[in-house]
């Protein structure tokens, strides 16, 4: 199983490309789901209401299995697909690329459009910082107060990130751990007395 994927660290905005009077402005956003995707698209549509086209492509999921390319009124395959191909070329997922076009009066033809959208997506992604993200799982551990040092030590060892901690006679910790460590941490927790845990 794969436990990591390549994506971008943070948004890149307003990368400008000019082609025969038309302006192409590139944006890219890291997105984790459809909701974040829609928000980013709406944001750009609000910022550029007078643009002729808002073309985009995205990939979501570990292997980019959820994807779409949208030409937004440009000739079929001349905008969304060249943008999408740049996502493939960079081997990244959970990324949205939008290219906004302001028509400049000279028609570019399909091959000219393909070239402009491809180039715009390419220079936008080249500005982005590429990172590898590890898949994470949520774990909830219940234990008695006297065992908290043991649990903290264990989570520390596996680079667990504590999200929530309820301290009482009976304590509950919610943490995020790397999915690749799931089996290892489960084994160690199973060997401890009076502890229950579950992945949520």
Q: What is the pLDDT of residues 7-39, one digit of tens each?
A: 999 999 999 999 999 999 999 999 999 999 999
- One domain, residues 113 and 177: no
Domain residue limits at 158 = 135-199
pLDDT at 169: 84
**142-173 pLDDT, tens digit each:** 999 999 999 999 999 999 999 999 988 899 99
Q: Over the chain, what is the mean pLDDT?
A: 96
pTM of this structure? 0.81
- One domain, residues 93 and 47: yes
Cβ–Cβ under 8 Å, residues 135 and 180: yes
**Which of 11-31 are b and which e, b meaning 16 or more Cβ less than 10 Å from the residue's Cβ?**
ebeebebebeebbbbbbbbbb
CA 200/CA 110 separation, integer angstroms: 49
CA 70/CA 44 separation, integer angstroms: 15
CATH code at position 43: 3.30.230.30
- One domain, residues 113 and 163: no
Closest CA to 123 of 9, 19, 22, 28: 28
- One domain, residues 158 and 80: no
Q: Where among 98, 116, 133 does a domain terminate? A: 133
Helices (H), 96-147: 109-127
Helix 148-157 with 182-190: angle, nearest 10 deg: 160
């Amino acid at each position: 199983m794969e436990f990591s994927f390549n994506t971008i660290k943070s948004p890149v905005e307003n990368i400008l490309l000019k082609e025969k009077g038309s302006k192409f402005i590139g944006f890219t956003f890291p997105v984790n789901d459809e909701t974040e995707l829609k928000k980013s698209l709406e944001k750009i549509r609000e910022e550029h209401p007078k643009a002729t086209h808002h073309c985009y492509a995205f990939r979501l999921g570990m292997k980019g299995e959820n994807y779409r390319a949208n030409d937004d009124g440009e000739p079929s395959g001349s905008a969304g697909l060249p943008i999408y191909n740049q996502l493939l070329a960079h081997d990244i997922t959970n990324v949205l690329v939008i290219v906004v076009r302001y028509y400049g009066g000279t028609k570019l033809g399909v091959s000219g459009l393909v070239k402009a959208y491809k180039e715009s997506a390419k220079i936008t992604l080249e500005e982005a910082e590429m990172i590898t993200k590890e898949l994470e799982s949520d774990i909830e551990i219940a234990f008695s107060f006297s065992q908290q040092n043991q649990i903290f030590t264990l989570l520390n060892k596996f680079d667990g990130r504590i999200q929530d901690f309820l301290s009482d006679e009976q304590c509950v910790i919610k943490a995020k751990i790397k999915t690749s460590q799931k089996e290892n941490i489960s084994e160690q927790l199973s060997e401890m007395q009076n502890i229950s845990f579950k992945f949520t």
